[in-house]
Amino acid sequence: MFFVTYLRRELRRRMRQAVFIALGLAVGIGLVVVVTAASSGVKKAQADVLSSLYAVGTDVTVTGATPKPPKSGAAPKNAQTFQVGPGGAQFCSNGKCHNAAGQTIDNLGSPTSPISQSKVAAVARLHGVTAAAGGLTLNDTQIKLPKNFGQPGGSLPQPKSFSVDGVDIGHSSLGPLSSATVKSGHSFTAADATSNVAVVDSGYATANSLKVGSAVTIDKVKFTVIGIVGQPQSGSPPDIYIPLVRAQAIGTGPDGKLRNKVNTIYVTAASAADIPAVQKEISKLLPGATVTTASSLASQVTGSLSSTAKLANELGKWLSVLVLIAAFAVAGLLTMAAVSRRAREFGTLKALGWRSRRIVAQVLGESVAMSVIGGLVGVGLGLAGAALITRIAPKLSANVPTAGGGPRLATNGPGGSQSFSPNATHTVLVPMHASVTAEVLALAVVLAVAGGLLAGALGSWRIGRLRPAAALARVE
C-alpha cells in the first residue's frame, strides 16, 4: 500500500516530467500503431485483389498456351471475318462465305489452346496434389447485322462481348465460382451437369436486367438463369457460368471444337510447402501451358497498390524503429536525470534502512506507470491516425492480369476480325482501410512496458551507484 501511495505522490509531484515522458512514449507507440495498421490495410487490399483473381482453395492454376499469331496475310484457323464487296456483306469462316446482312453472328471462342481433359486426372495424380478440376474460360462475341449492312448508309454495329466460364460441377470447391456468394436463386447441382442453365454474376445481371428465370443466349443457344452470384469485382470475374459439358459442346478453340477439352486446370496442393514442387511437376507434364501460383500472380500486380505496399513495408518499418529508439532514449535520459535530482531523497531512504532493491523497485514502478499511461495515449493516437488514413486516403490502383491468367478476346476494327491479347490486364481501384487488430494493440502495450522497464533500468543503474553519505552531502 505504501508503494502505491509513494508512487502516486511522486508522479503528482513531478507531473511535468511524467507528462513529458509519457507523451514521448505515446508518440512512438502511436506511430507504430499507425504504420502497422496502414501496412495491414495495404496487405489486406493486396489479399482482396489476389483472392478475387485466384479462386478460393486454388493453389496452382494451369492455362493453355497462347495461340501463335497467324502468318502475315493469312487468317487464323477458325477465324470469323466480315467482307464487304460488290456482292454485299459476306460472313466468312474457314474459307466459306455467305450473305451476312440481317443475320446475328455469335461465336463462343477460347482465347487459349485447349488441354485434353485426361490431363486433369494426370495432374490430380501428381505427388503433393490433393485435387484438380478443369474449366473452360471462353468469350462470346455477338453482332447483330442490319439488313442494309454492306449497302450505302449501312454501318457495322458495336459487337456485344461477355465472358463465359465452363464449370466442373463435380468440383464446385475449385474454380472462380467457388468464391461466389449466391444473391438469389441457387448455384449448380449435380442434375444440372448437362442442362442449358446458367449462373450470372450480379454486376452483369444488373447491367443487362437479368434475374432468376431470365434467358441468356450463348452461341445461339438459350440458357435459363438459375442463380445470381456476387464476386469481388477487382478480379474481373466471368459474366456467366455454365456447366462444363455444355461449354465443351458449343465452344470452339483455335483448333476446332472443345469436346473433352479444357483450357484451365485448378489445382489444390497438400500444403504450402508442396506448391513449388507441384508447379515444377505440372510444367513437366504440360510443357506448353502456363503454370501460375498466388505468389507469382502477386508479382504481376502493379500500380499504386504495389508501390504503397513497398513503402509501408520498408520505409514505414524503419521509421517506426527509429521513432521508438528516440522515444526510449528520451524516456531513459529523463529518468536518469530525475534520479540524479532525487539523490538526497534516495540517500535519506537508504540511511533509514531502505535496501537498494526496494528503491529500484520504486523507480521501476514509477517508470512502468508512466509507460502504461503513455501506451494508452499512444493507442488512442494510433486509432485516431488509422481512422484518419481510412477517411482521407485515396483509393489505390492495381493493374491486374485477367482472371485465370489467360488472354482476352478483342474485336478489331470495322471488319470485325477477332484477335487475342496474351497479356491482358485491367485496372481496379482498391479502397485503403487501415486496420488495427488486437495483435497490434497487444504489441503497443508490450512496447510501452518495455520502454518503461528500459528507462527504469537506466535509472536504477544510477541508484545502485549512490552511497548514502555521498548522496546526503549533495546540495540540490
The domain segmentation of the chain, as residue ranges, is 2-50+305-395+431-473, 65-76+89-288
Does the pLDDT at position 408 exceed 50? Answer: no
Does the pLDDT at position 230 exceed 80? Answer: yes
pLDDT value at position 420? 36
pLDDT value at position 23? 82
How crowded is residue 458: how many other Cβ atoms within 10 Å of its Cβ?
20
Structural contact between residues 448 and 370, judged by C-beta atoms closer than 8 angstroms = no
Residue whose grid cell is 540517500:
347
pLDDT value at position 313? 59
Instruction: Determine which of 386-390, 435-439, 467-471 has the lowest per-residue pLDDT on average.
Output: 467-471
Residue bearing the bigger pLDDT, 306 or 322:
322
Dist CA 25 CA 19 (whole Å): 10
Does the pLDDT at position 123 exceed 90? Answer: yes
Dist CA 398 CA 300 (whole Å): 10
Mean of pLDDT values over 203-218: 93
Mean of pLDDT values over 109-120: 89
pLDDT-derived band at 428 (thresholds 50, 70, 90) equals low
Residue bearing the bigger pLDDT, 389 or 310:
389
338-353, pLDDT tens digit by residue? 776 676 677 677 667 7
Dist CA 337 CA 139 (whole Å): 74
pLDDT-derived band at 405 (thresholds 50, 70, 90) equals very low
- E-strand stretches of 145-237: 160-167, 181-185, 197-201, 215-218, 221-230
How crowded is residue 336: how many other Cβ atoms within 10 Å of its Cβ?
16
Instruction: Determine which of 113-122, 150-159, 388-397 has the lowest per-residue pLDDT on average.
Output: 150-159
Does the pLDDT at position 51 exceed 90? Answer: no
pLDDT value at position 185? 94
Mean of pLDDT values over 386-406: 65
Torsion angles phi and psi, residue 143, rounded to 5? -135, 120
- Measured at the CA of 204, the angle between CA 200 and CA 205, to 5 degrees, comes to 65
SS3 434: coil
Residue bearing the bigger pLDDT, 104 or 149:
104
